[in-house]
Amino acid sequence: MSEQQFSLFAISPLDGRYRRKVESLSRYFSEFALIRSRCSVECAYLLALDGTGVFAPLASPERERIAALASGFSEADALGVKEIERTTNHDVKALEYFLQERLKLKTPSMIHFGLTSEDTNSPAWSLLLRGYRDEVQLPQLRRLVAALAERAETWADVPFPAHTHGQPASPTTAGKELAVYLDRIVPLLRKIAALNFPAKFGGATGTWASFMTAAPGIDWVDFSRGFVTGLGLEFSELSTQVESGDAWAEYFNLTRELNGILLDLDQDFWLYLMLGLYREPPKEGEVGSSTMPHKINPIRFENAEGNATVANALLSMLSEKLVRSRMQRDLSGSTVQRNMGVALGHSFLAVEETMAGLSRVELNAARCAAVLAEHGELLSEPAQTILRAAGIPDAYERLKALSRGRPFSKADLPALADSLELPPEARARLLALDVASYTGAAGRVCLDAVGRAKTWMEENP
């Protein structure tokens, strides 16, 4: 079956319609990736076990074969494991038998010595998650931060209509509104980057009983700690047959929180485009509707919203399920783990589509200015605040009577000033009010947020 045919008949859109966009993720979340990672763990364990003296030392050719397989595990090797699994109906045991055949050790009983399947699976999955985070997720999110920072800095001082409760509200700037998202995302990225992925390595029920029975003279807990930390993972000393899953859940929840921020951004841009505050230039050859030729739809933001929603449903399920396992262990968690890549794949797509949407929109500064000019009633807030500072006791009520549900504009300010005994400075400030310039410290705090984002990007090149 050709790639195009596979795309037509794939059940999952990640393997079908979106295959080209997410194919790099197969390095971390495919069946091949999992088998390769397990093999890497088993091979590293053989080399570590060789130093304990439990078995006769490995010969140099044996060590070389182990190292070569760990670094050069191939598709043919994975198919060999799968062929054995057809008989065993057990994936990790199939790998053990494959290693016996492939490595031809003089002491094949070394392979998988003392281990339960989860002693292989736990570090294998954590290595894959860590690799995805470090090599794909964080670099992708760094690009998102860079895109937001560039636009926020460019539009830091451009007046922009604000809406609270869907109604016109005190103006902001286009850059400041983007900087809000920027300042929400960067702290999350710090947490994601700092998270340590765990692994257990304590035998069938986390007691090291099999190890200690066979070789009681070795501190197997200390050995396991050294082995797991040597892989760059955090050692889970206390476990059942499975690692608790708490750190994985934390990672999924942080990613889900990030997707929630993206959903907020995507939905806001959808609305901004609807209001004409942003616009998307036409792209040659693209169609927005099968019947309405004029349409330019915000499809990128809509795709991002849909994928983030799917991702968050799955990430929520994963974070809830993987921290629970009946008594010492049940197998329901194993099949659920295989969906981690599906959840993170949709999350990856959501970020890609958000960036694609941002790259295609232009700020409609003229429309923003026109909308602000239509709403002179926005001056009621600064006007009543100036009056309060001047000691006018019923300032709020005066402006409410003048502006709530009634036409009000800058032209009404002189009459208001004349009706009051105001100090000259207060009168001057009142008469100088203008909707377009009523943006306060928006530009400043926007650039402060951009600075924080740039600092993070410098720390994470």
- Which residue's entry shows tokens 């799917």? 310
Q: What is the DSSP letter of 294?
A: T
Highest CATH level, class, for 129-199+236-366 = mainly alpha
Active site residue 289: yes
Residue 5: in which H helix or E strand, if any?
helix 3-9
Q: Is 260 helix (H, G, I), strand (E, B) or coil?
A: helix
Q: Which CATH class is domain 3-51+55-112?
A: mainly alpha
Rg, C-alpha atoms of the chain: 30
Which are the contacts of 370, defined by CB distance < 8 A and separation ≥ 6?
none
> Taking a C-beta distance cutoff of 8 angstroms, is the pair 158, 368 a contact?
yes
Residue in 64, 109, 160, 149 with CA at minimum distance from that of residue 370: 160
Give the separation between CA 252 and CA 266, rounded to whole angstroms: 20
Which pair of tokens denotes residue 240? 């059942």
The ranges of the chain annotated as CATH 1.20.200.10 are 129-199+236-366
Q: At what angle do helices 60-72 and 31-49 cross, to 10 degrees?
A: 160
Which residues lie closer than 8 Å to 45 by C-beta, 6 or more apart?
115, 227
Query: At 181, which amino acid appears?
Result: Y
What is the separation of C-alpha 338 from the centre of its chain, rounded to a whole number of angstroms?
18
Question: At residue 63, what are phi and psi to the nearest 5 degrees?
Answer: -60, -35
Residue with tokens 């010492």: 328
| Topology of domain 371-437, CATH | Ribonucleotide Reductase Protein R1; domain 1 (1.10.40)
Per the residue annotation, which of 12, 24, 74, 289 is the catalytic one? 289
Residue type, 326: R
Instruction: Give 160's strand partners.
Output: 172
What Å distances lie between residue 431 and 35, 64, 405, 417, CA to CA? 73, 84, 22, 8
Catalytic residue among 2, 165, 290, 419: 165
Beta strands in 74-216 (DSSP E): 159-164, 167-173, 198-199
For β-strands 198-199 and 234-235, DSSP reports them as: parallel
Residues with Cβ < 8 Å from 72, sequence gap 6 or more?
none
User: What does the pLDDT profile of the chain (461 residues) look like in tens digits?
Assistant: 676 677 788 889 999 999 999 999 999 999 999 999 999 999 999 999 999 999 999 999 999 999 999 999 999 999 999 999 999 999 999 999 999 999 999 999 999 999 999 999 999 999 999 999 999 999 999 999 999 999 999 999 999 999 999 999 999 999 999 999 999 999 999 999 999 999 999 999 999 999 999 999 999 999 999 999 999 999 999 998 899 999 999 999 999 999 999 999 999 999 999 999 999 999 999 998 889 999 999 999 999 999 999 999 999 999 999 999 888 788 788 899 999 999 999 999 999 999 999 999 999 999 999 999 999 999 999 999 999 999 999 999 999 999 999 999 999 999 999 999 999 999 999 999 999 999 999 999 999 999 999 999 999 88
**Residues of each domain in the chain carrying CATH 1.10.40.30:** 371-437
- Rounded CA gap, 348 and 307, in Å? 9
- Written as six digits, the tokens of 299 are 């499809």
Question: According to CATH, where is 1.10.275.10 located in the chain?
Answer: 3-51+55-112
